[in-house]
Amino acid sequence: MLNLVGLIAVGVALALPQVAIAGDAAAGDHRYHQSCHACHGPAGKGVSSYPKISGNPVEYTREKLKAYRAGQKIGPNSGLMIMMAKPLTDEEIENLSAYLKDAKYEK
Amino acid sequence: MKHTVKKTLVASVASALVMGGTVAVAAGMDVPIIKATPVLEGLDKPWDMAVRADGTMFFTEKCKGLSMRSPNGQVTNIYGMKGSSGYSSSGADLFCEGQAGMMGVAPDRNFDQNRRLYVASTSDKYHGSGCKSNFERCDGNIVMRLTLSEDLKSVTDRTDIVTDIQYKPFESNQPFGGPGAHNGGRLRVGPGGYLWIAGGDRHRGVCPQSPKLLCGKVLRVDTDGNAHPDNNPPAGFDKRIYTYGHRNVQGIDFRPSDGKAFTAEHGPWHSDEITALVNGGNAGWDPQEMTAGRGACPDKYCGYEPEQMDGMDPAVRASYMPMSDTRFDDLMPPTWNNNGWSQGTSSAAFLKGENWGIYEGRLATGVLGIGFGGTPIGQRIDMVGITPDGLGINAITRMPVGFSKRFRGLVMAPDNSLYVAVDEGEIYRITATSQQ
């Protein structure tokens, strides 16, 4: 009986479309201030020679952070980004991506 | 004799009590009220300012150009860079890239009569046959002498007085490795009206100790760009060089009590430094490979080694690649080294005026904030008390401005307020009010 229930559950799960878990923007804001704010400035606006990283789709930021975490070089400051992305979990990447999508610096 | 000694002792004790009491009262009473007020917001990478007695402020934006804020708050864009719009005129040779662009600005000491401003910028006008790789000469930084119109809203003459400060043209395998790295760029007019130009090593190992290349140097020149007659660099060096062996100087100012020059510069994952300059002295930075016990380094530059992309104890890194190498006999030892950390010291300005109370005469030092390998980010302005011999500090206090930002440019105004540019896009006026 239990095996039958398990099989049904697996079947239902497989039948459902894959849905990414939405990141928590508030948690992303907190994480951003721990690791990213000093270089990229408030709300990811970009400061000095560090680029603007806000206003991008979640998919874009997620892809870039995962690439850096995997050690891929993308541009001249990749060394710094690879170091900063190394400790990020999947959940933190989702949260950061959600926060940066709509982050705005109002001044 | 005995009597005399006794009298002297009594007088000394009395004097000490009075003086001690005075000091105690002063220390307790004359902590000024410090207040920061935004002057301009929404700027694009503001870098440096020059303020006149009437409140007129000239300022640079690294990728846009030179502008002026009138005392009534109106902003006029005076001299733009390639691609800028809305400026009275532009220099088609001026460009920005990475850390480089339009940077320092300083007024002539006779500005009221000649309306001359000195401006540092990156330029492609003097590349000549160089700049084909990172391992050859690339003259890409200049100092311009601009004469303004009577209404101060346009440039009537531009004369390039220094045209051969090196620039990094290509990406290299370093942290912050993009073109334009370590570009220095602060200008100040010092005692006697001479112009001081602070430079960076542009990620080239041979630069700081080279006798001829101007990268990694502090220059002292007249208003035509000629060497100060009293500059005393080692034999064979370019006579415009006041000090050499620098990494990336973005802060320079002169102590009000004796005119002595002090610099502030970024450290390499360790040891930001304030240094008391000595004419002809060596700041001790030498990032060449195959030197001082080091082997080959990425792109011939050992400046972040060892293991440049990984965090490690700053003291261990400092022992391998020191900021101030003690093997140099002419070393200028640092006044302060930020407790061995690198957090990105940028601009610096001595606090002038009794309104600063107990902080009068201290060196306000802006810190950009770099949190790498466990180092606290540390965005702040420190007020550093420097010993009379310039070789140490006797006090350090964080300026209570109420916020933390990337403090890029600091300069005193004639009214003894401090103007501060932050990378986030604002310029603040910081006032101090004495409580006595």
**In this predicted model, what pLDDT tens digit does every residue of B207-225 receive, in sequence order?**
999 999 999 999 999 999 9
Report yes or no on A97 lying in a domain: yes
Output the pLDDT for position B436.
87
Alpha-carbon Rg for chain A, nearest whole angstrom, is: 18
B414 preceded by a cis bond (ω within 30 of 0): no
Q: How wide is the angle at C-alpha A76 spanned by C-alphas A75 and A77, nearest 5°?
A: 100
Q: Which residue of B has its CA nearest to A46?
A: B424
Q: Which residues pair with B380 in a beta bridge?
A: B367
Q: Do A41 and B423 touch (CB under 8 A)?
A: yes
Which residue of B173, B177, B406 is in closest CB contact with A48? B406
ipTM for the predicted complex comes to 0.76
Residue A5 is predicted with a pLDDT of 52
Q: What percent of chain A has pLDDT over 90?
A: 52
Q: Please, what are the averages of pLDDT over each run of 10 residues along chain B (436 residues)? A: 36 35 54 98 97 98 98 98 97 97 98 98 97 97 98 98 98 92 98 98 98 98 98 98 98 98 96 98 98 96 91 92 98 97 96 98 96 87 98 98 97 98 97 95
Decide if A107 is inside a domain. Answer: no
Chain A CB contacts of B180 below 8 Å: 49
User: What is the spatial distance between Cα B381 and Cα B432, in angstroms, rounded to a whole number?
Assistant: 14
Q: Could you tell me which of B241, B240, B170, B174 has the C-alpha nearest to residue B208?
A: B241
Distances from the Cα of B402 to the Cαs of A29, B351, B423, B430, in angstroms?
Answer: 21, 18, 17, 11
User: Shortest CB distance from B309 goes to which of A37, A45, A83?
Assistant: A83
Residues B85, B88, B92, B93, CA torsion sign: negative
Sheet holding B418-422, edge to edge: B33-40, B426-433, B418-422, B407-412
In angstroms, rounded to a whole number, what is the distance separating the alpha carbons of residues B90 and B82?
7
| A48 closest CB neighbour out of B371, B379, B423 | B423
Task: Establish if A87 belongs to a structural domain.
Answer: yes
Residue A55 has pLDDT above 70, yes or no: yes
- The minimum CA-CA distance between B274 and chain A, rounded to whole Å, is 22
DSSP label at residue A55: S
**Smallest CA–CA separation between B100 and chain A, in Å?**
9
Are B178 and A107 inside 8 Å of each other by CB?
Answer: no
Find the closest chain A residue to B380 by CA distance: A38
Per CB-CB distance under 8 Å, the chain B contacts of A79 are 173-175, 177, 308-309
Which residue of B lies nearest to A50 if distances are taken between CA atoms? B98
Sign of the torsion formed by the C-alpha atoms of B73, B76, B79 and B82: positive
CA of residue B347 relative to chain centroid, distance: 4
Please report the sign of the dihedral spanned by the C-alpha atoms of residue B75, residue B80, residue B84, residue B90. positive
Find, among B376, B297, B282, the residue nearest to B332 by Cα: B282
- Of B77, B79, B122, the C-alpha closest to B103 is B122
> In Å, how far is B427's CA from the nearest CA of chain A?
12
What is the structure's pLDDT at A77? Answer: 79
CA distance A57 to chain B (A): 23
Cβ pair A65, A96 in contact under 8 A: yes
Other Cβ atoms closer than 10 A to A26:
11
Q: State both tokens at B29.
A: 């009473």
Q: Which among B42, B178, B368 has the least Cβ separation from residue A76?
A: B178
Closest residue in A to B103 (Cα) is: A48
Q: Do A107 and B372 touch (CB under 8 A)?
A: no
CATH 2.60.40.10 fits B32-433, yes or no: no
At B16, which amino acid appears?
A: A
Q: B406 with B424: CB under 8 angstroms?
A: yes
Closest CA to B198 of B213, B177, B179, B220: B220
The secondary structure of chain B, three-state, reads CHHHHHHHHHHHHHHHHHHHHHHHHHHHHCCCEEEEEEEECCCCCEEEEEECCCCCEEEEECCCEEEEECCCCCEEEEEECCCCCCCCEECCCECCECCECCCCEEECCCHHHHCEEEEEEEECCCCCCCCCCCCCCCEEEEEEEEEECCCCCCEEEEEEEEEEEECCCCCCCCCCCCCCCCCCCCEEECHHHCEEEECECCCCCCCCCCCCCCCCCEEEECCCCCECCCCCCCCCCCCCEEEECCCEEEEEEECCCCCCEEEEECCCCCCCEEEECCCCCECCCCCECCCCCCCCCHHHECCCCCCCCCCCCHHHHHHHCCCCCCCCCCECCEEECHHHCCCCEEEEEECCCHHHHHHCCCEEEEECCCCCCCCCCCCEEEEEEECCCCCCEEEEEECCCCCCCCEEEEEECCCCCEEEEECCCEEEEEEEECCC
Across chain A, which distance is largest between two alpha carbons, in Å? 64
Among candidates B106, B101, B99, which has minimal Cα distance to B81? Answer: B101
Position A16 in a domain: no
Count how many domains chain A has: 1
* pLDDT, averaged across chain A: 84
The residue among B322 and A107 whose pLDDT is bigger is: B322
Cα end-to-end distance, chain A, whole Å: 63
Residues in chain B within 8 Å Cβ distance of A35? 371
- What range does the domain containing A88 cover? 23-102
Under 8 Å between Cβ of B37 and B429: yes
Q: How far apart are the CA of B344 and the nearest CA of chain A, in angstroms?
A: 11
Residue B420's CB: how many other CB atoms inside 10 A?
27
* pLDDT value, residue B2: 37
Q: How far is residue B413's CA from residue B407's CA, in Å, rounded to a whole number? A: 17
Evaluate whether B344 touches B266 at the Cβ level (below 8 Å): yes
Report how far residue B392's alpha carbon sits from residue B385's, in angstroms, rounded to the nearest whole number. 9
Q: State whether residue A76 sits within 8 Å of chain B by CB.
A: yes
Q: How far is A10 from chain B (nearest CA, A)?
A: 44
Contact B244, B374 (CB under 8 A): no
pLDDT (mean) for A14-43: 81
Nearest CB among A35, A49, A107 relative to B178 is that of A49
Residues of A in contact with B99 (CB under 8 A): 48-49
Residue A20's pLDDT is 56
Number of C-beta neighbours around residue B224 at 10 A: 10
Q: Can you say how many angstroms the Cα of residue B317 is from the centroid of all Cα atoms in its chain?
A: 24
